[in-house]
Amino acid sequence: MARLMSRAEAVPWNQKFLLALECGALFLGVPTAVATHWIPVPVIPVLLVMAAGCWFVLRWRHKVTLRSLLRTKAPKHEWRRILIIYLIATLSLVIWLWLTDPAAMFFLLRRHFGFWLLIMFGYPVLSVLPQELVYRAFFFERYRPLFGRGIVLVVANAIVFGFGHIVFNNSISMVLTFLGGLLFTTTYKRTSSLITVSVEHALYGWAIFTIGYGQYFFDRMLWLFH
């Protein structure tokens, strides 16, 4: 994956324009169409189709290999950084929900334990890996000519990641995923590791669903686990 992070792509303005249209259609248009039921398909199948298409483009247009995409090596200090931020963020989420909506604490554990248990196993594979493939590996490689390599890329990625969760029809899910997007994008930018950022994403997802914020991501996914 190092080549993905170091290669400079100079493209003419007309190609950048087409890339911008493509980016808007994929990362703004598709979530809006799902949220408004213009695409009457549940979230997970849409995500899996997007991931398959993005992988095809990565493999055949950008020559990304599966081995480079799935490399797991990350420095120990990166894992320390991830875990320290995770512990602080998780504690903050617990305190915030306790203060603002204590009835929601451990919502899925108390009311839908079977669904919560299936999420612990299914979420990393059916949701996290496809999301990280689309929003990190594909977005970085495909749209770096539009956003560069610095803070603009990080913020743009976090914005589209947060916006993508418009499919759940509530602002809380969008705010939480925007903040999560800042973390995940930073991690991917620092490590170039899809597996590392997927582990980080899964940790936050497990925390979100366990603490009680899962109610904000619940209704559109419930059908999958019945």
| Closest by Cα among 177, 176, 199 to 188 | 199
Distance CA 192, CA 189 (A): 6
Q: Which residue has the tokens 């189709």?
A: 49
b vs e for 164-182, b when ≥16 Cβ sit within 10 Å of the residue's Cβ?
Answer: bbbbbeeeebbebbbebbb
pLDDT the model gives residue 10: 66
Q: 43-60 and 139-147 helices cross at what angle (nearest 10)? A: 70
Tell me the domain boundaries of the chain: 2-225
Contact 163, 43 (CB under 8 A): no
Residue 106: partners with Cβ closer than 8 Å, 6 or more residues away: 210, 211, 212
| Closest by Cα among 146, 148, 160, 129 to 189 | 148
- The burial class, CB within 10 Å (0-12 / 13-18 / 19+), for 134 is buried
For the chain, residues with pLDDT lower than 70 are 1-10, 218-226
pLDDT the model gives residue 164: 95
Contact 50, 137 (CB under 8 A): no
Please give the DSSP secondary-structure letter assigned to residue 222: G
Express each pLDDT in 113-170 by its tens digit. Answer: 888 898 899 999 999 999 999 999 999 999 999 998 899 999 999 999 999 999 988 8
pLDDT the model gives residue 224: 42
pLDDT the model gives residue 99: 95
DSSP strand E in the chain: where? none
Round the CA-based radius of gyration of the chain to a whole number and report it: 18
Distance CA 123, CA 117 (A): 10
Contact 101, 219 (CB under 8 A): no
Distance CA 165, CA 110 (A): 25
